[in-house]
Amino acid sequence: MSDLLKILQETADPDSSKLAKILGLAVEDVEKQLHELKENGSLLGWVPLLHPSKSPSDSVRAVIEVKISPEREGGFDRLAHRISKFDEVEACHLMSGAYDLMVIVQGKNLHAVASFVSERLSTIEGVLSTATHFLLRSYKEHGHLLAKDGEAYEKPPVSA
Amino acid sequence: MNPKDFIAEHVQNLPRSGIRDFFAIVSEMPQAISLGIGEPDFITPWKIREASIFALEKGKTSYTDNRGLLSLRKEISTYVSSFFGPDYDPQSEILVTVGVSEAIDIALRAILNPGDKVLYHEPCYVSYAPSVSLAFGEAIPVGTIPEQSFSLDPEAFEKAWQPGCKVLLLNFPTNPTGGTADKQKLERLAKFAVEKDLIVISDEIYAELTYEGEHFSIVDLPGMKDRTILLHGFSKGFAMTGFRVGFACGPDWLIEAMMKIHQYCMMCAPILSQEAAIEALRHGVDDVKRMREQYQKRRDFIVRRFNQMGLSCHLPRGSFYAFPSVHSLGLNEVDFCHRLLREYEVAVVPGTAFGPHGKNHVRASFSTSYDKLVDATDRIEKFVESVQAEKEDASAAV
């Protein structure tokens, strides 16, 4: 992994002038590297990470376990790509174990997710079964603890 | 009643720690960015904290064996063997202490008769000279110098030796300079220790935070295990400062002598901290590596920034402190720190808080987030520019 990506993962801040300072590079060089990382697909993009209860949305999320039939050529890939293309699908992963795909879906409400599963997902040829679990509350998102007090603790400002 | 009559003279004569003076000032400025923190900014990895909570839930609230839990001493023996080299018997050659600070205190008290002399390098951790005084010994500081990146200089120790020297106290990597000691120099120093029949107390608390090459301990040299007390602990590498748990490894007769003091003054290290330490050694070593990688990147950043702004700064090969010189500005280290704090609200620690050889230098911890490091170094740069402009104005006026 490049130094730039390592720093980005730690700071989560795409400010190229700050990154240039940290890396000891010219701002233009950092911008060029960022551009290349986007071009070659290493860096997919930026998403603001919101606290679910502080910025409540009208949507609901569900994790769906999907069993599918593998195909002679391509295994699970064609169906997985097809399912991933739905706007409702936030993430789609091939899993080991009791089911094949874990699909994370977001919808306006419970009814919308249910409709997606019953009318779109289950009806795809090759989808054998689905089991839908609605998310009730989140405690950690992308490495961030969501509890009110988190892990904040002030250390003494000067020590030996 | 005269309070002075009731305080022992050698305690009255102890100087106040320069760190405490500065802490009092910085505490009144909560908005300031502090690079004065002498501990990791990482919180102890959860698995280690959780082990301590689990032990509490299980009702482990008792004393332990004075020497520490045998299971912990066994883990220490395995870890020390793989990281430092020598094998120590968990039954008789390892003592679990309340941090390395206690271990230094009881080691000195176990060895020194009144007037015995202790050679140590300086700038150094703030407790060394006071600990020697409290053990009624005489502290003989040996300066390390910026031209050699504050690394070990065996020749300086040889020159400083005088009759009555009994102990050589070492700390590599060093707080506050980040200096280290390479094998060749340690070999020469070991030879000197044998020739002069010195006991070596080697505080290697920052051992895991070595960035160039691998840490090498003097205790791993032939003949040194018999005359060395290796001190180590969990505070820095494992980010466990508040757990207060460290250990001493040494010949059984020295460990037994330290044990005598430890059992009467401390009983044992807290059991919950010992339980956390077991987890740290069993499953926390990868966390140490992760934290070290992050410190190293931050070190490279802060050292580059200091040199860019004209404050000469050697590359600290270990620890999490940069130790730049402020001499070029025409300010002494104390004035630099006070003005920087007052005018630009950044706290760094005067080098002389770590002994007179730290003059003209300041200690800046890079154990803090990039956001703070970038902001702090930008402010320091502005401060440096303003002082340089003052100097130019003054010389123009002349």
Amino acid B290 reads: R
Write down the ipTM of this complex.
0.72
The pLDDT value given to residue A11: 86
- With a pLDDT cut of 70, the percent of chain B lying above it is 100
Partners of B304 on chain A (C-beta within 8 Å) are: 24
Q: Quick check: B223 pLDDT over 90?
A: yes
Contact B36 A7 (CB under 8 A): no
* pLDDT tens-digit series, residues B148-169: 889 889 999 999 999 999 999 9
Residue of A nearest to B127 (CA): A160
Kindly write down the DSSP assignment for every residue of A118-152, as one continuous string: IIIITTSTTEEEEEEEE----SEETTEE-SSSTT-
Is the Cβ–Cβ distance between B361 and B351 less than 8 Å? yes
Separation of alpha carbons B248 and A82, rounded Å: 62
CA distances, B246 to each of A95, B96, B98, B101, B177 (Å): 44, 6, 6, 8, 22
Domain ranges of chain B: 3-44+286-388, 46-283
| CATH topology agreement for domains B3-44+286-388 and B46-283 | no
* Per-residue pLDDT at A150: 65
Quote the distance between the C-alpha of residue B104 and its chain's center.
11
Choose the closest CB to A157 out of B17, B37, B377: B37
In contact, B322 and B313? CB cutoff 8 Å: yes
Assess whether pLDDT exceeds 90 at residue B394.
no
- How many contacts, defined by CB atoms under 8 Å, are there between A and B? 62
Q: Among residues of chain A, what percentage have pLDDT more than 70?
A: 96
Helical (H) or strand (E) element with A154? none
**Min CA distance, A140 vs chain B (Å)?**
14
- Whole-number pLDDT of residue B393: 85
First and final C-alpha spacing in chain B:
57
**B46-283 in CATH: which number?**
3.40.640.10
For tokens 């956390």, name the residue: B276
Q: What is the pTM of this model?
A: 0.88
Sign of the torsion formed by the C-alpha atoms of A69, A71, A75 and A76: negative
Q: Which CATH superfamily, name and number, covers B3-44+286-388?
A: Aspartate Aminotransferase, domain 1 (3.90.1150.10)
| DSSP at B205 | T
Contacting residues of B for A6, CB less than 8 Å apart:
297
Chain A: closest CA distance from residue B138 (Å): 22
The predicted model gives B169-179 an average pLDDT of 96
- Among the residues of chain B, which ranges form H helices? 9-12, 18-27, 46-57, 70-83, 99-111, 128-134, 154-160, 183-195, 252-265, 271-283, 285-308, 333-344, 370-397
Q: What is the pLDDT of residue A145?
A: 87
Q: pLDDT for A17-61, tens place per residue?
A: 999 999 999 999 999 999 999 999 988 888 888 887 777 677 899
Chain B residues with CB under 8 Å of a chain A CB are: 17, 19, 22-23, 26-27, 30, 32, 34, 36-39, 41, 43, 125-127, 175, 294, 297, 300-301, 304-305, 347, 349, 370-371, 374, 377-378
The mean predicted confidence, pLDDT, of chain A is 91
Q: Which of A16, A158, A159 to mutate to test the interface with B (most CBs of B within 10 A)?
A: A158
The predicted model gives B238-244 an average pLDDT of: 97
Domains of chain A: 3-39 (no CATH), 60-136 (3.30.70.920)
Are A117 and A132 spatial neighbours (Cβ–Cβ below 8 Å)?
yes
Contact flag B36-A21 (C-beta cutoff 8 Å): no
In angstroms, the CA B167 to CA B193 distance is 9
Sort out which chain B residues have CB atoms less than 8 A from A18's CB and list them.
370, 374
Angstrom distance (rounded) from CA B94 to CA B73: 6
Put simply, the answer to whether A159 touches B37 (Cβ < 8 Å) is yes
Tokens linked to B217: 């301990």
DSSP one-letter code for A117: I
Q: Which of B36, B304, B377 sits opposite A158 (nearest CB)?
A: B36
Nearest CA in chain B to A23: B301
- Whole-Å CA distances, B386 to A45, B63, B347, B383, B389: 40, 57, 17, 5, 5
What does the pLDDT look like over A110-154, one tens digit per residue?
999 999 999 999 999 999 999 999 999 889 988 888 887 666 677
Best mutation target, B301, B321, B367, to test chain A (most A CBs within 10 A): B301
pLDDT tens digit string along B80-100?
999 999 999 999 999 999 999
